[in-house]
């Protein structure tokens, strides 16, 4: 059994641009947080937006050295980058962007969501890249809701949506540079599931909503994050309410981290280079 290490929560919220009121549940700067290969988790919303004429969001900004994984639960995001790529991410969709060497992009509420308003809820997870991939060409995996592998858990309607890696042999659509399992778990009240997770993997559980008992002891509630020990291979979850969880687990990347805002590299020299490249306009494709 993987022992629960601790449960944390963050109620403090800040705005990313004018479109995303986010709570940062963890980052690589969090003291004592062994989160590798993951770097950061922002939970946006759930928040109500009234109809508007001008799209809200975050304008052109850079990323280098890692991947941004955007998971939409409610609302719709439209993204564009300076290489001319763009698209829509709607409920159930996932955009897995390998920023790597770097790009400039904007992330906005879609035109339709802006016009109609409504509830917005999304996650952005940052996934680190090993040194050898930090400067490869940027690319995207646009994964739509219907491409995500769905594993039924029992008869009542609980499901595991496998975004990356695999769950009991069912493979998810996202390709990753290091071994990662990313699972969107919808567990209905009263149901128990036993997760098999490789020994030595970093394991983090984020509850978007609901309440779940972990390993028949501690209870995790909504907007809480659970850290687990790397030893052990199974976690038992029993839903006390209908619960939506993001299960993140992966092999740690054992390399130094140097980070500054949207740049995450291995050395301070590489960070200086990233800032210089950004200021010199070299992030435009
Ligand atoms: Mn971004």
pLDDT at residue 150 greater than cutoff 70 = yes
* Cβ–Cβ under 8 Å, residues 59 and 17: yes
Cα–Cα nearest to 71, from 152, 9, 166, 142: 142
Ligand 1 centre to CA of 126 (Å) is 10
Ligand 1 centre to CA of 170 (Å) is 30
Ligand 1 centre to CA of 106 (Å) is 7
Ligand 1 centre to CA of 262 (Å) is 8
48: exposed, middle or buried (Cβ count in 10 Å: 0-12, 13-18, 19+): exposed
* Cβ–Cβ under 8 Å, residues 161 and 171: no
Ligand 1 centre to CA of 227 (Å) is 25
Sign of the torsion angle spanned by Cα atoms 13, 219, 164, 33: positive
The structure tokens listed for 106 are 């904007």
Ligand 1 centre to CA of 75 (Å) is 17
Ligand 1 centre to CA of 212 (Å) is 31
222-244 pLDDT tens trace: 999 999 999 999 999 999 999 99
160-185 pLDDT tens trace: 999 999 999 999 999 999 999 999 99
Task: Indicate the pLDDT class of residue 285, thresholds 50, 70 and 90.
Answer: low
Cα of first residue to Cα of last residue in the chain, in angstroms, is 47
C-alpha distance from residue 126 to each of 76, 133, 253 (Å): 19, 15, 14
Ligand 1 centre to CA of 135 (Å) is 17
Q: Average pLDDT in the 77-82 region?
A: 94
Ligand 1 centre to CA of 140 (Å) is 13
| Exposure letters 7-41 (e unless 16+ CB within 10 A, then b) | beebeeeeebeebbbbbbbbebebeebbbbbbbbb
Ligand 1 centre to CA of 228 (Å) is 28
């Amino acid at each position: 059994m993987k022992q629960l290490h601790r449960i944390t929560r963050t109620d403090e919220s800040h705005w990313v641009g004018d479109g995303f009121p986010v709570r940062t549940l963890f980052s690589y700067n969090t003291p004592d947080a062994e989160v590798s290969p993951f770097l950061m988790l922002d939970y946006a919303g759930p928040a109500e937006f009234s109809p508007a004429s001008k799209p809200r969001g975050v304008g052109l900004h850079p990323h280098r050295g890692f991947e941004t994984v955007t998971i939409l639960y409610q609302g719709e995001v439209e993204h564009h980058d300076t290489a001319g790529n763009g698209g829509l991410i709607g409920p159930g969709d996932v955009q897995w962007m390998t920023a790597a060497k770097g790009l400039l992009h904007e992330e906005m509420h879609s035109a339709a969501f802006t016009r109609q308003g409504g509830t917005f809820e999304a996650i952005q997870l940052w996934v680190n890249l090993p040194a050898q991939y930090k400067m490869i060409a940027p690319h995207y995996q646009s994964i739509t809701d219907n491409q995500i592998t769905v594993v039924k858990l029992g008869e009542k309607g609980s499901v595991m949506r496998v975004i990356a890696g695999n769950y009991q042999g069912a493979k998810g659509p996202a390709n990753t540079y290091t071994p990662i399992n990313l699972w969107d778990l919808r567990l209905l009240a009263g149901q128990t599931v036993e997760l098999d997770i490789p020994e030595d993997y970093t394991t983090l559980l984020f509850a978007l909503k609901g309440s779940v008992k972990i390993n028949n002891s501690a209870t995790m509630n909504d907007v809480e994050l659970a850290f687990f020990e790397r030893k052990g291979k199974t976690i038992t979850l029993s839903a006390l309410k209908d619960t939506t969880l993001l299960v993140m687990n992966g092999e740690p990347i054992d390399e130094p981290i140097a980070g500054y805002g949207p740049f995450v590299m291995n050395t301070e020299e590489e960070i200086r280079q990233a800032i210089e490249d950004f200021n010199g306009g070299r992030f435009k494709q």
